[in-house]
A and B are shown apart, each in its own frame.
Chain A
Amino acid sequence: MNKPLSLVLTLGLALASAAAFAGRDGRPVDERRTLKPDARVEVSNVAGLIEVEAWGRNELRLTGHLSEQVEKLEITGNESRLKIEVKLPKRTRHVEDTVLHLKVPAGITLEADGVSADIAVRGVKGDVEANTVSGDVRLEVGSKKVEARSVSGDVTVDAPSVETRVESVSGDVTVRGVKGEVRGETVSGDVSVRGTTARRIEVQSVSGDLELEIELAADAEVEAKTMSGDVVLNVPRLPDVDIELETYSGEIEPSELLPGFPAKRQRSRRHDDDDDDHDEDDENREYSRQGKGPGRVRLHSFSGDIMVRKR
């Protein structure tokens, strides 16, 4: 075989292999940048995955692959502030998955944004904010401040954070290990807060259930509100604080933690039509007691049941 012909064949074979590779796995990404230990990193991806993991080096290592539709991966900024964006051509309507794996110094502050991309972060100790629309968010971090939101995806946070905010519309929200202040909200998803010594917990839903499996200090403030979801509070004990449980048409489950409930003479604030059956029902719908501690526990529902259980 003559040399020009073999060169053409070799190049053709190489191009065909590259095309086949790109078609199967997308265009590979492998980038490195120096980063300060406390740098701010912003990363955005439309579809696929953003995965961030802390490591022991003061640099960013970015691997993964870009989908066919991606125009370019833009990395801008410097060692103090770095921005990573997956750029698409204007009016792109359908996007295949782009996968970004980032390794970063643990102390960075991170902001991750997706649309249908999942976001997973592990080991980061700086503040973390993660937002996506139809993807899931999973944060296992050592951060003091965490915010995580999705519209239809699940949101899971496992962090010793002192300021935590988690939201979803239809996805479930799960929070573990947080301290300080926790706020969680959904519409139809369930909210679960577990294993926390948080001082202030506020959770809300419309139709999702609210479940708190926590330990309560005497200065803890807990507020759970739902329309039609159930509220479950699992605690080793209730501290001597103000307790207020109220449901409009659901029931409060009798519990050893609620002595004297249901009380025969307890009256509801509901409109009283002097119906005996109604009065009997109302006895199961309110419970309150005063405590000496500065804390407060308020569990409210419209039609969901309220359960306070000793674990």
Chain B
Amino acid sequence: MNDDTDRIEGLEQLARSRAPSRDLWPGIEARLHARPRSRYGLVQFALAASLVAGMAALLTLNPAPGPAPAAAPTLSHDSRAIVQANLSIVRQSGRQLRQALRQNPESATLRSLLASTENRQRALSAML
């Protein structure tokens, strides 16, 4: 039980709130949409199979930049929302990286992260 004798000296001088070190909303938003089941017909199944194959080709680690596939498969409403939420995460990441690169154009790490981010953006855009 707290009373005056239990008070920790200097506690009231500490900040009452602390801002997170990064923007957490995109991750929260993606999780809110997480994993709903969707139902597909035969056509959608074929397209989705193409989607998975396309994803396999595009979501490679350190892939060489290349054009997005021409055909964009149809996703269910739920899956589309998930991909869009993740695409917004990726786009925001790209903006942050480009801004950081303007301050520090020599950074190989930033360039590498940006290359990966742009590849992911292409891959996710191709799904929609």
Contacts of A90 in B (CB 8 A): 41-43
> Are A269 and B104 CB-contacts (below 8 A) given A131-B52, A149-B55?
yes
Q: Point out the residue from A88, A250, A302 that lies within 8 Å of B41, measured CB to CB.
A: A88
Contacting B at CB under 8 A, from A114-137, are: 115-116, 131-134
The residue among A87, A271, A305 with the most chain B CB atoms within 10 A of its own CB is A271
Would B51 and A95 count as touching, CB distance under 8 A?
Answer: no
A44-B40 Cα distance, complex, nearest whole Å = 13
A47-B76 Cα distance, complex, nearest whole Å = 13
Would A228 and B41 count as touching, CB distance under 8 A?
Answer: no
Contacting A at CB under 8 A, from B40-59, are: 40-45, 48-49, 51-53, 55-56, 59
B18 to chain A, nearest CB (A): 14
A4-B86 Cα distance, complex, nearest whole Å = 66
Would A188 and B89 count as touching, CB distance under 8 A?
Answer: yes
**What 0/1 pattern do residues 75 to 95 of B give for CB contact below 8 A with A?**
110110011011001100100
Would A187 and B45 count as touching, CB distance under 8 A?
Answer: no
Determine if A167 is an interface residue (Cβ-Cβ < 8 Å): yes
Would A304 and B110 count as touching, CB distance under 8 A?
Answer: no
Determine if B113 is an interface residue (Cβ-Cβ < 8 Å): yes
B122 to chain A, nearest CB (A): 13
Between A and B, how many residue pairs show CB distances below 8 Å? 175
> Are A88 and B45 CB-contacts (below 8 A) given A188-B27, A188-B86, A206-B93?
yes
Determine if A142 is an interface residue (Cβ-Cβ < 8 Å): no
Determine if B26 is an interface residue (Cβ-Cβ < 8 Å): yes
Would B83 and A151 count as touching, CB distance under 8 A?
Answer: yes
Q: Is the interface of B mostly helix, strand, loop or mixed?
A: helix
Contacts of B75 in A (CB 8 A): 133
Determine if A24 is an interface residue (Cβ-Cβ < 8 Å): no
Would B103 and A185 count as touching, CB distance under 8 A?
Answer: no
How many interface residues does chain B have, given as a range?
Answer: 35 or more
A232 to chain B, nearest CB (A): 16
Contacts of B109 in A (CB 8 A): 246, 248, 300
A138-B55 Cα distance, complex, nearest whole Å = 19
Q: Is the interface of A mostly helix, strand, loop or mixed?
A: loop
A132-B55 Cα distance, complex, nearest whole Å = 11
Contacts of B116 in A (CB 8 A): 204, 225
- Stretch in B6-14, B29-37, B64-72 with 4+ CB within 8 Å of A: B29-37
Would B93 and A116 count as touching, CB distance under 8 A?
Answer: no
Would B31 and A188 count as touching, CB distance under 8 A?
Answer: yes
Contacts of B36 in A (CB 8 A): 134, 152
Contacts of A303 in B (CB 8 A): 21-22, 96
> Are A185 and B39 CB-contacts (below 8 A) given A133-B51, A151-B51, A228-B22?
no
Residue of A nearest to B30 (CB): A188
B55 to chain A, nearest CB (A): 6
Q: Point out the residue from B49, B76, B110 that lies within 8 Å of A248, measured CB to CB.
A: B110
A171-B59 Cα distance, complex, nearest whole Å = 14
Contacting B at CB under 8 A, from A7-49, are: 44, 46-47
A-B contact pairs, 26 of them (CB 8 A): A44-B45, A46-B42, A116-B37, A132-B52, A133-B51, A133-B79, A134-B36, A152-B35, A170-B82, A170-B86, A187-B124, A188-B27, A188-B85, A188-B89, A206-B89, A206-B90, A207-B93, A208-B27, A225-B116, A227-B97, A270-B103, A271-B103, A300-B112, A300-B113, A303-B21, A304-B22
Give 7 nearest A-B pairs by CB, closest first: A92-B41, A131-B52, A188-B30, A303-B22, A187-B86, A88-B42, A227-B93
Report B's interface with A, CB cutoff 8 A: 21-23, 26-27, 30-31, 33-45, 48-49, 51-53, 55-56, 59, 61-62, 75-76, 78-79, 82-83, 85-86, 89-90, 93, 96-97, 100, 103-104, 106-107, 109-110, 112-113, 116-117, 120, 124, 127
Report A's interface with B, CB cutoff 8 A: 44, 46-47, 87-96, 113, 115-116, 131-134, 147, 149, 151-154, 167, 169-171, 183, 185, 187-188, 202, 204, 206-208, 225, 227-228, 246, 248-250, 269-271, 300, 302-305
